Structures are given as C-alpha cells and as structure tokens.
A and B are shown apart, each in its own frame.
Chain A
Amino acid sequence: MKKIEIRISGLGGQGVVLTGQILGKAAVYEGKNVVQTQSYGAEARGTTAKSEVIISENKIGFPIVRKCDILIAMSQEALEKNLKDLKENGILLIDNSIIKIVPKTNAKIYAVPATEIAEKNFGQKLYANMVILGALTQITNLVKEKFMEKAIKDSLPGKSTSINLQAYKKGIESVPTFNPR
C-alpha cells in the first residue's frame, strides 16, 4: 500500500466526520501517515457532509481527495454527488438500508444494511457508522482490527464505548452483498 484515499459521505448527523477521524486515528496507531479533512454545510444536520482520509506510507502533500480509491456512501444524495470522484474500479461501500438505486459504475460495489443492523441490534440508527467501519475492515482490511478497536475506544470514551465496539463487530460479521443490481 503506497497511498489510499477514502471518502466517507452522508448526511450531517450520521457521524460521517467521526467515522473519518476514527479510521485516521487507527491508521496513525498502525504507524502510517494520515491526513483527515472534512466538509459540511453551515447547518448542523441534514445537508450532505463528507470526511476524507488519506493513508500513506510516505509524507502526504495535498490534503484534499480529488479521486478516491474507496467511497463510502450513507445517503442517496451523497452517493449521487460523489460517485464521479471514485476511481475506475475503485471500491464503493453503501448502506443499502438507505440507498436503493446505484447509478451505473465500474466500481466494485459492496452493500451492507448498516442502519438496519444498528437499529435492530442497538435500537438506534446512530451506530450505523460503526457498522460501516466494521464492514470496511472486513472487505479491505485497510487498518488492522486491533488498531480500529483502540481508535474507537480512544475516540468514544465512557459509556458508549462498548455499544460502539459491538456495532463495529456487527459490521465485521456482516455479509456484504457484492455488486448488487
């Protein structure tokens, strides 16, 4: 792995920024160079939000992702807005409990009903981002599980740690649908 660029997109309030932070922190624990940036509207919730993580063995110059290797989409609008920036044959990971239509693409598509899994197991959809991170680990093994877990623990201390870790585990155990049509 020389350099991997990941974009996580969704709606404000889904924890898109936190997801990027945890992934970035875990990669730093693994000894990688990391830049994480974010972009969101002036509103607190409801508009599209994105978080970008660049993980590299070398020093990272430009901090902003133009074309990503991995795109995570957690809302229909976010998918439609960001799909054009996914590299040819890149990896697309979607929450298919929210996203129903995937536009035509050459990407390798993986679908996990993250929101559904979060609601069913933990009663709240806000854990969907942890499920997605688990699914990402399972599909790509981008950052080792032990570092991901440490990053979750360090980023979400206190009472919520255990549920977030369980949600992450659920993501690892999930069976993503490959190339759904």
Chain B
Amino acid sequence: MNITPDMKMADVLFHNYTLLPVVSRFNIKLGFGDKTVSEVCRNSDVNLDFFLEITNSYVDEDYIPQKELNTFPVSLIVQYLKKTHQYYLEEKIPEIERNIQRVLDAEKTINDKFSLVENFFTEYKQELTNHINREEANVHPYVLEIEAAAIKNEINKSLHSKIRKYSINDFASEHDNVEEKLFDLKNIIIKYLPPCNSSGLCNSILIELFRLEKDLNAHANLEDKVLIPKVAAMEEKLLALYKA
C-alpha cells in the first residue's frame, strides 16, 4: 500500500513502524492527532513529494520512484543523507555499543569470547565512520558544486578537470558495501558464539543489527538509484557544454 498525501500520518506509522526513525530525520515530531501526511509536512516545513518518495521506497523495495524525484534539488537529498549519517553515528551505533557492554558485564563466563564481538563492532564502527566522513568531506561538496554549475549552466576549467579526475561514477564504483561486516556479525552471534544467558540483550543487539542493515540498504538505494544517476546526467551536460 503506497503512502499518499491524504493518509493520516498516525495511520502511516501504525502500518509501518519501521518508518519511525525516518520520520524523525525530517524533524517531524510525534503527536499528530488526525493530521494528514500533507498537513504534517506543511506544518513541519518538509517537502511533501520528497517525503513521500523517501518513505515509500523505504517500506517497499520494489517501489518505483516517481518522475518528480528527479526534480528535487541535490541539496535536499544531501541534507537527508547527512541526517541519516547522524542517526547512525549518534544513535544507532552507540545504542548497539551499550548493549554489547551490558552483555560483557552480565556474562562473566563467556566474557573473553564476547569481547571479540566488541572488537569486531568497534572495527565496523571505524569503517562506517570513515565511509561517512569520506562522503561528507568529498562527495557531498562535489555534487553540490556540480548542481550549482548545472543551474548556472556554466563550467570553468577547474570544475572540468575535477570531473575528469573524479566523477560521480568513480564514487559509485568505490561505493564499498559496509553491509558485509554487519552480515558477518549477525552470523557470528546467531551461529558461532557460545550460548549466551542474557538472551534478551543478545536479541536486542541482533534486532538492532537487522534494522541498521535495512536502513543502510535503503540509504545505499537512495544514493545509487537517485543521487548518482542525477549527478551523472548533470556531469554529462556540463562536459558537453565545456566542449562547445
């Protein structure tokens, strides 16, 4: 079922609770009463079409983005991606870390084994942080620069050599999957760790890992299916302009 402007925002969340963090990323706060999606977006100063595209593709992997998605400014997408990064580093990762620490405190007997999970996760966190930093330091400024040039319809020598040196497709090909490690971690906890008595804690670690994985996939989809093609098209246009 697609999310539409006339639906009540509360109903949207009743049907898809996984959207909760996504909605927060738009700075939309709970307490909607009977307001519709479009009313809530208007009140919170959120671009309605963008909200619909993001939420629909989040709940339905087969959802085909409407053409309008291409009319959103790159800056809006970048802003959303940044919010998502923040959510990973400031909420999700620390939450999982805390639970891992709790298991370590509770399980003295398998403590040494479980500390391997801790190390593994620390490594993962570092990898994810590097990945995010690289995107925010290099890729985001680059795509914003491309967009600004495309709007003005002019390209100078330095931007031309930048595109030649490192285009968005290079980024796409380097776009390593940070999901692999996450998958291994779930596998290790489910299959290979010695039985853990704090099963409640272990379960919540696993559930958070599954959710993080889903969110990362949606995040990667937004980059691969929307941002990259959009920027690639602008690059092409700019290069043609430079030649002329």
User: Do A and B bind?
Assistant: no
Interface positions of B (Cβ within 8 A of A): none
